[in-house]
Amino acid sequence: MTTAAVGRRRVHRAVSAFQSGHMPTNAKASAQRANAMLGGMDQVIAWAGFLGAWLLVAGPLYQGALELQEEDIDRELMAASVARVPRPQPPSAWWWLLPPVMYLILRRRAKAFRHAVFAQLTLDQQRQFTIYMRKAIGWFTVAAGATLLAAEQTWRVTEAHRWSAWLFWLLATVMLSLAVLNTALRLSRKTHAGAAGAVSADYT
């Protein structure tokens, strides 16, 4: 038998063993280790994307709240202007039998109330309010987009671990709550620190 024929027979045996599942023990162990390593990397990448996406939610939330808090706006006078405008009367509860109609009624009355309040403001207050709302809408849009991406990454983690769908909703709710809580706590500490600094300045 020629050398080429022997080589073909060896290749044929290897292919047959692979197809039938009768691989050598060392080859099976190597394949299992490779599969385990790939599966582990998939989970690591999924968790990295999960954490990174939720950080992109927490960041804009905090930065937006911080900028809006520091915005130069006369809140007391605006609150007084709002207080001068009577609140719209709530529509009849019977309209809830037709939710789309109820939504349109509530939206129309809320829009009329906003226009009435805006008309009470001075030109300078209107300018301040417009800038404030533009910044708020901009940061809210960024945070909302990041939340959608974070939801996708949360689903990837759920799929990687083959968890139930309800764990996806639990994870998403917990992470969004943590992002909001982070913003609230940081702003609260900043407010307390500013108040403490003002008090100490009064006594120096």
Taken in order 52, 58, 61, 63, is the CA torsion positive or negative? negative
Question: Is residue 16 situated within a structural domain?
Answer: no
Are 52 and 138 spatial neighbours (Cβ–Cβ below 8 Å)? no
Task: Tell if the pTM clears 0.75, that is, is over it.
Answer: no
Residue 80: give the domain boundaries: 47-202
Instruction: Give CA angle at 75 (186, 147), nearest 5°.
Output: 40
Question: Is residue 125 situated within a structural domain?
Answer: yes
Per-residue pLDDT of 152-200, as tens digits, reads: 999 988 888 888 899 999 999 999 999 999 998 888 887 666 554 544 4
Question: Is residue 29 situated within a structural domain?
Answer: no
Residue 162, Ramachandran bin (φ over 0: left; ψ between -120 and 50: alpha; else beta): left
Question: Is residue 132 situated within a structural domain?
Answer: yes
Question: Is residue 83 situated within a structural domain?
Answer: yes
75-82: long-range pairs with CB below 8 Å, 24+: 77/125, 78/121, 78/125, 78/128, 78/129, 81/117, 81/120, 81/121, 81/125, 82/117, 82/120
Number of domains into which the chain is organized: 1
Residue with tokens 């045996």: 13
Per-residue pLDDT of 47-97, as tens digits, reads: 888 999 999 999 999 988 888 888 777 777 777 777 777 888 888 888 888
Question: Is residue 6 situated within a structural domain?
Answer: no
Between helices 123-161 and 25-70, what is the axis angle to 10°? 170
Question: Is residue 42 situated within a structural domain?
Answer: no
